[in-house]
Structure 1
Amino acid sequence: MKLEDLRRPSLVRRLVILAAGWSLAVLLVSAIVFALLFQQAALRRFDQGLSELIDNLVAGATVNEKGQVLAPALTDLRALRAYSGKYWQLAEPTADGRIHILVRSRSLWDSELKTPVGVAAELAADPGKPVSYETKGPLDEPLRAMISQAKLPGREAPVIFMAAEDRSPVDRDIRSFIAATAVVFLLLGVGLMAAVVIQVRVGLNPLFALRREIARVRRGSAERVVGAYPSELTPLADELNALMAHNQEVVERQRTHVGNLAHALKTPLSVMLTEAGQQGGPLSDVVTRQAEAMRMQVDHHLRRARAAARTQGSGERTSVAEVLDELSRTLERIFQDKGVSIDWDAADDLYFQGERQDLLELAGNAMENGCKWCRGRVRVRADELGAERLRLVIEDDGPGLTPEGREAALRRGARLDESAPGSGLGLNIIDELARAYGGVLKLGESRMGGLSVDLELPRAGT
């Protein structure tokens, strides 16, 4: 794809980007929400375990005769193993707002659970409400901790109960869930992108079909749009058919006017030439020359007008092989005294986008010119030059032309050899008619030694 094609606005690209943008945004937000919900659910379950541990501590803690707080005998073996990752401790608030440790789990060994600044005041303001926070353990592992304050029978001062557990397993579960969610949503996003592209392509397929059919009409493979299209495109197809019918009607009117003009001008000129030929003298010669010049001018401009009108029509296509075969047989008979042999080659499915008469004039003038100047051989080759162009090359084994001579040969009425018959308009007619069809004429040196006439013309689809 070319860079200018990427810069050009595209309906397909616009729809795909819009749908894909919304889909990917929704997927991204959904993935984030799912990850946050899973994280909150995991932490709630984690906090529930810590809350149960604190409830057990509060329910089992006692105060002896000396006022000392005694911890209950818990059955959780992790709390008995040093640095196991599950810890608890009992403390009391001090007058300066700090916390004094009373009892701790064996898993803490000689360490203690760190508490945030001001937590004692927060617990005193709302006794019984647990507070959760993040801290570090004895081995610098991440801990999720919970702290609560309660009063025990036989003790006037409140007791602070703290429980904590290593949250690394929960963090790993959260990371695993996020990774799995990312993979799933990525695959879902790729699937949605493919679905969007397919949906847009399928949804716009009738529009692409209409474009292809219009191209077939332009190339001459069809005369009108005949496909069955959705209700949204049917009015467009009908309007295109009406437009093409109107253009064809305009072209026909132009061609009729051109024919009438040709008849109206040629008849008086023929009368003038006839009368001048019957009257002798210098005046007759002047009238004859000027009338001939006028007739040549009329032929020249009417030929261009007819060609321009024909190129506006649609559905015109001519078999190149049939035209070359007809011209070769005709010219070989005309130049049989000279012994001219014409070798032509063209594919059966190669078509010129235009009228048969115009291709006869284009190829005929070039082939006739080659037959006049050749020593005995003329070669004609027609090939496709892309999907919309064809190339027609006529070569001869004659004397050829110099670069200056080739340029002069394209001037209207130029005669490079006054001894040869003809008006000198052949190559100029080819050039003008090819230009009318949007084609190109190039003169060069033939591989056979003579002149090469290279024509690039519009090609009709098969």
Structure 2
Amino acid sequence: MSGMSVRGSLRARLLAGSVVWILGALTITGCVLGDLFRRHVEDRFQAELRIHLDQLTASIELAPEAGPRLRTELSDPRLRKPLSGFYWQVDREGAETARGVLRSRSLWDATLAVPSDGPRDGEVHVHRIEGPDRERLVMMERIVRPEEAAGQPLRLIVAADERGMTNPVREFVGLLVTALGVLAAGVIAAVLLQVSVGLAPLKRLREQLAEVRDGRSRRLEGIFPNEVRPLVDELNAVLQHDAEVVERARTQAGNLAHAIKTPLAVLGNAALREEGPLARLVAEQVATAQRQVDYHLARARAAAATQVPGLRSALRPAVEGLVRVMQRVHAERNLHIAIEPISGDAAFRGEEQDLQEMLGNLIDNACKWARASVGVSATVRVGELVVTVDDDGPGLPPEAREAVFTRGMRADEAVPGSGLGLGIVRDLAQLYGGRIELDQAPAGGLRATLFLPAA
């Protein structure tokens, strides 16, 4: 998991923070528990040594002219097994130190080498020494002065293999690491589930926004948690506000169109009733003004529509309707307009009126230039709608294809038209993030391919 992905993902942040916290907490817990258990085992180990040292102290006596001896044997059977790892020893302290005057059977013929700095009367010292089998021993000692031998102190020693203390700690730490590892895995899995469940409303919100963008919905619907609901309400308010703004813009554009077209129509009709150069000039300028108004109103309407989410216009009904209209408009030419099967799910992510404007111009242009037939087909790709219009007319040479997009430019003055059709189609397509391409049709005429965002 890279640093960039952690900073850019809320899920990654939550998981990374939780994992770090869980692993840190369990690591500290494991260290504390391991240390507590080690101290407990060490205390119990030394307590057991202390019991045997007390037993040895209570059993030792000095026989007349025979030296120290035990009144009773110590109870632990390990003291009678050779090299068992559990030993006791009695040294004579004084002018001449004698080591091992008494020792347990477990020492066999060896003696314990103990530090020379013996404890004071009443003190108990603990050391770590090497045993007869080169094992590490924990040794506990004290100095006693029997009444039978005033001035001749005895050094009492008990020792045990420290593996009796370290092995249980090692086994416990191994089990503890395993248990904490399983616990960490379980807690991390629970955190992963919790994060997934906690972020599920955001995923649902993203899906709802995708539906609005693709035109399947106009607002965000569904039940959301209280923490997310204010965001949903604000988004719905923004969507509603944008829709109202666009609707007002459309209304104002329509009002402006009517306000301008009415005087233009009056001027045009007046010019048609008159004769002479002035009347023809007025008629030409009125027609030019009307074309410009239509062109810029179409652009303004499309620019406003692209800002509204949730637009969806079905393709097949629009194509079928336009073909019926074109068959009536060009009925005298007896053209055959063929429509290849179009999926019912094919839809344009935009205003239906703009879709009809673009397709109408392309089909009408093909009908004007076709000799006998026009073909319309459509395919849907990932996020893209591709509409193709072919004709069997004379076509266009490659060097002239870009020029026909210029406003007012016409390929042939003998063919009726304003020269604005293909220019409007390209401008509208670009406003929606699409494009138009011209190529040679299979029948030799012109092929116009329109690429639009799919809903």
TM-score range, shorter chain: 0.7 to 0.9
From 124, 127, 131, the counterpart of 1:133: 127
**For 2:61 and 2:112, how far apart are their aligned partners in 1?**
21
Match for residue 357 of structure 1?
353
Q: Which amino acid aligns with 2:23?
A: L
Q: Does 1:293 align with 2:288?
A: yes
Pairing of 1:22-421 with structure 2 (within 5 A): 22-66=21-65, 68-71=67-70, 73-74=73-74, 76-93=76-93, 100-116=99-115, 118=117, 120=118, 123-124=119-120, 127-155=121-149, 156-332=151-327, 334-335=329-330, 337-374=333-370, 376-386=373-383, 389-396=384-391, 400-421=395-416
Q: Return the offset for 1:300.
A: 1.4
Question: Quick one: structure 1 residues 74 and 238, their matched pair in 2 at CA, closer, same or farther if it must change by over 3 Å?
Answer: closer
Is contact 1:79-1:87 (8 Å) kept?
Answer: yes
**For 1:14 and 1:139, how far apart are their aligned partners in 2?**
57
Q: Return the offset for 1:271.
A: 3.1
Is contact 2:378-2:385 (8 Å) kept?
Answer: no
Local SS of the residue matching 1:345: coil
Local SS of the residue matching 1:362: helix
Question: Quick one: structure 1 residues 158 and 450, their matched pair in 2 at CA, closer, same or farther if it must change by over 3 Å?
Answer: farther
Alpha-carbon RMSD: 3.1
**For 1:305 and 1:280, how far apart are their aligned partners in 2?**
36
Q: Which amino acid aligns with 2:185?
A: V
**For 2:394 and 2:112, how far apart are their aligned partners in 1?**
110
Is contact 1:346-1:383 (8 Å) kept?
Answer: no
Q: Which amino acid aligns with 2:289?
A: M
Match for residue 16 of structure 2?
17
* TM-score, structure 2 normalization: 0.87
Q: Return the offset for 1:335.
A: 5.0
Structure 1 stretch 416-425 or stretch 393-402: which is displaced more? 393-402
Question: Quick one: structure 1 residues 116 and 365, their matched pair in 2 at CA, closer, same or farther if it must change by over 3 Å?
Answer: farther
Is contact 2:5-2:12 (8 Å) kept?
Answer: no
Is contact 1:90-1:161 (8 Å) kept?
Answer: yes
Q: Return the offset for 1:235.
A: 3.0
Residue by residue, what CA displacement relative to the aligned partner does 1:201-226 show, whole Å, maximum 9, x if unpaired? 22233333233223322322122233
**For 2:394 and 2:133, how far apart are their aligned partners in 1?**
103
Q: Return the offset for 1:139.
A: 2.9
Question: Quick one: structure 1 residues 293 and 92, their matched pair in 2 at CA, closer, same or farther if it must change by over 3 Å?
Answer: farther
Question: Quick one: structure 1 residues 437 and 80, their matched pair in 2 at CA, closer, same or farther if it must change by over 3 Å?
Answer: same
Q: Which amino acid aligns with 2:423?
A: N
Q: Return the offset for 1:255.
A: 0.6
Residue by residue, what CA displacement relative to the aligned partner does 1:363-393 show, whole Å, maximum 9, x if unpaired? 232233344445635141231423xx43334
Q: Which amino acid aligns with 1:378?
A: G
Question: Quick one: structure 1 residues 228 and 402, their matched pair in 2 at CA, closer, same or farther if it must change by over 3 Å?
Answer: same
Q: Which amino acid aligns with 1:217?
A: V
Is contact 1:379-1:396 (8 Å) kept?
Answer: no
Question: Quick one: structure 1 residues 443 and 142, their matched pair in 2 at CA, closer, same or farther if it must change by over 3 Å?
Answer: farther
Q: Return the offset for 1:26.
A: 1.9
Q: Return the offset for 1:92.
A: 4.2
Is contact 2:380-2:454 (8 Å) kept?
Answer: no
Structure 1 stretch 137-146 or stretch 370-379: which is displaced more? 370-379
Q: Return the offset for 1:454.
A: 3.3
Structure 1 stretch 169-178 or stretch 181-190: which is displaced more? 169-178
Local SS of the residue matching 1:143: strand
Q: Return the offset for 1:146.
A: 2.0
Question: Quick one: structure 1 residues 163 and 447, their matched pair in 2 at CA, closer, same or farther if it must change by over 3 Å?
Answer: farther
* TM-score, structure 1 normalization: 0.86
Is contact 2:378-2:388 (8 Å) kept?
Answer: yes
Q: How many residues align?
A: 451
Q: Return the offset for 1:305.
A: 0.6
Gaps of at least 5 residues in structure 1 are none
Residue by residue, what CA displacement relative to the aligned partner does 1:176-204 show, whole Å, maximum 9, x if unpaired? 22122112111111111121122222223
Is contact 1:340-1:377 (8 Å) kept?
Answer: yes
Residue by residue, what CA displacement relative to the aligned partner does 1:36-73 show, whole Å, maximum 9, x if unpaired? 22222222232232222212211111212237222453
Local SS of the residue matching 1:392: strand
**For 2:126 and 2:255, how far apart are their aligned partners in 1?**
103
**For 1:221 and 1:319, how far apart are their aligned partners in 2?**
11
Is contact 1:370-1:396 (8 Å) kept?
Answer: yes
Q: Which amino acid aligns with 1:437?
A: Y
Q: Return the offset for 1:258.
A: 0.3
Residue by residue, what CA displacement relative to the aligned partner does 1:129-154 show, whole Å, maximum 9, x if unpaired? 43333333233323222223333231
Q: Which amino acid aligns with 1:173?
A: P
Question: Quick one: structure 1 residues 131 and 256, their matched pair in 2 at CA, closer, same or farther if it must change by over 3 Å?
Answer: same
Question: Quick one: structure 1 residues 55 and 444, their matched pair in 2 at CA, closer, same or farther if it must change by over 3 Å?
Answer: farther
Q: Return the offset for 1:322.
A: 1.9
Residue by residue, what CA displacement relative to the aligned partner does 1:308-341 show, whole Å, maximum 9, x if unpaired? 2222334432212222232344445555635434
**For 1:113 and 1:370, how far apart are their aligned partners in 2?**
114
**For 1:315 and 1:459, how far apart are their aligned partners in 2?**
12
